[in-house]
Amino acid sequence: MSGALAAGFVHPARAADLDAIVIGAGVAGFAAASALIGARKNVVVLEARERTGGRVFTNTSLGLPFDEGAPTRPESGAPALVIDGRELSREEYARYARVSAELERTLEKLRTQLPGVDPQVVIQGNDSLEKLAIAELFRRVPFAPFATLPVTEGKVPVRIGTRVMRIDSTGALVRLMTQGGEFTAKVVIVTVPTGVLGGGGLTFAPPLWLERLAAIESLPMVQAAKTFVTFSRRVFDVPDDARLVAWTATGTVIEAQLRPRGQEAALLFYRDGEARRLEADGPMAATAGAVSALAELFGREVRTAFLRGASTRWGKDPFARGAWVDGPPPPRRALAQPHHERVVFAGEATDPVGGVVGANASGLRAAKEALAVLGRG
């Protein structure tokens, strides 16, 4: 979480002394910077936000920890499945497992044989059980949660509130233009998401090659959001970290984690169009919607015990423009290639695994590439 990433700030080295600049103080950026510092290189990390952590960030404003970004704990088993307020029977669970397995095979075939076709248009359900299985299939996070952040702790020099707008690698040193002035270094590691790379917020000289631009376009940011609500007393008679996926009478899906870490709270998950609507309506509407959805399943006590709520807005964040990257390995490998030799790329989008684990691995890989460049210099 962000607290672990933020530990150990030191003042940056003078710009003239820099071997490397890392753009982005997330998991990939800290992994790269830590590896370079371990190799006795002078490094600074530039972060556009007024905090570190990137898309791995813990919000404590509600009095309870709320992981806004990538999951940092393993999921607690299979979710309970509910249709119209009733949990599935044993026979229905068995049918659900068979339907889910068949859907996964169908999805894999579609992605292999028809990569340009939206699977959600092709795959349709005949009844509520099949529709629930389809909804859960498309809502799954495509990477494993991680119990502990795999970031090497230590003294990492960071300048927050420093947005890089242009990278120029045409001269003897790589020049970075920011709203706070110019920085130069022998090599630069870029860890920003594809939503930023493809959004025109960062320009390059020489311009990015067509192959890299095509890779960025092939790796869109998934729109996903979370709403966290807290309660004054226990309202869910379930084990800690119980997971629930419900198909409601109105034909919508509720996905939730109840009593996360034993807290009197609930965490609701949204994807795609749901997430866009949630962010567009704002945090208050998102909280109200979460409470209403839970009250539909667990009764009016959810409303009377409600305390506070908060929601993520990764799609509205100009330094993310989405929650995580979706896309196959080939464009990820293309994005990972250096630009003009001295500009190296890292981040979850450059790694076939993705997620927190992929981001960390990409940072270590980028550090090795940067050290090779510095060794040649």
206 exposure class (CB count in 10 Å sphere: 0-12, 13-18, 19+):
exposed
Nearest to 37 by CA among 189, 176, 184, 150: 189
Q: Rounded to whole angstroms, how far apart are CA atoms 257 and 241?
A: 6
Q: What is the pLDDT of residue 111?
A: 80
pLDDT tens, the chain, 377 aa long: 444 454 444 444 454 579 999 999 999 999 999 999 999 999 999 999 999 999 988 899 999 999 998 755 556 567 899 998 889 999 999 999 999 999 999 988 988 888 778 888 889 899 999 989 988 888 877 666 555 554 444 589 999 999 999 999 999 999 999 988 999 999 999 999 999 999 888 999 999 999 999 999 999 999 999 999 999 999 999 989 999 999 887 778 889 999 998 999 999 999 888 899 999 999 999 999 999 999 989 999 999 999 999 999 999 999 999 999 988 899 999 999 999 999 999 999 999 999 899 999 999 999 999 999 999 86
pLDDT of residue 73: 53
Q: Report whether 256 contacts 267 (CB < 8 A).
A: yes
The residue among 355, 352, 333, 336 whose CA lies nearest residue 344 is 336
Helices (H), the chain: 2-6, 27-38, 90-113, 119-122, 128-139, 194-197, 210-217, 272-281, 283-298, 301-305, 329-335, 355-376
HSE-CB at 65 with a 13 A cutoff on CA atoms is 14
Q: Which two tokens stand for residue 48?
A: 């556009």
Tokens of 165: 């707008």
Between CA 141 and CA 224 the distance in angstroms is 10
> What is the C-alpha to C-alpha distance for residues 178 and 7, in angstroms, rounded to an integer?
24
pLDDT recorded at residue 75: 60
Residue 12: the pLDDT is: 47
Question: What's at 272, amino acid-wise?
Answer: D
For residue 142, what pLDDT is reported?
67
Which tokens belong to 102? 């068949």
How much is the pLDDT for 3?
A: 46
Provide the whole-model pTM: 0.86
Residue that is written with structure tokens 């813990």 in the block: 58
- Go through the chain and tell me how many residues it has: 377
Asked if the peptide bond before residue 206 counts as cis, ω within 30 degrees of 0, the response is yes
Alpha carbon distance 275, 222 (integer Å)? 10
For residues 355 and 57, what is the distance between their CA atoms, to the nearest angstrom? 14
Local structure of 46: helix, strand or coil: strand
Kindly give, in sequence order, each residue whose CB lies less than 8 Å from that of residue 101, ignoring residues fewer than 6 positions away: none
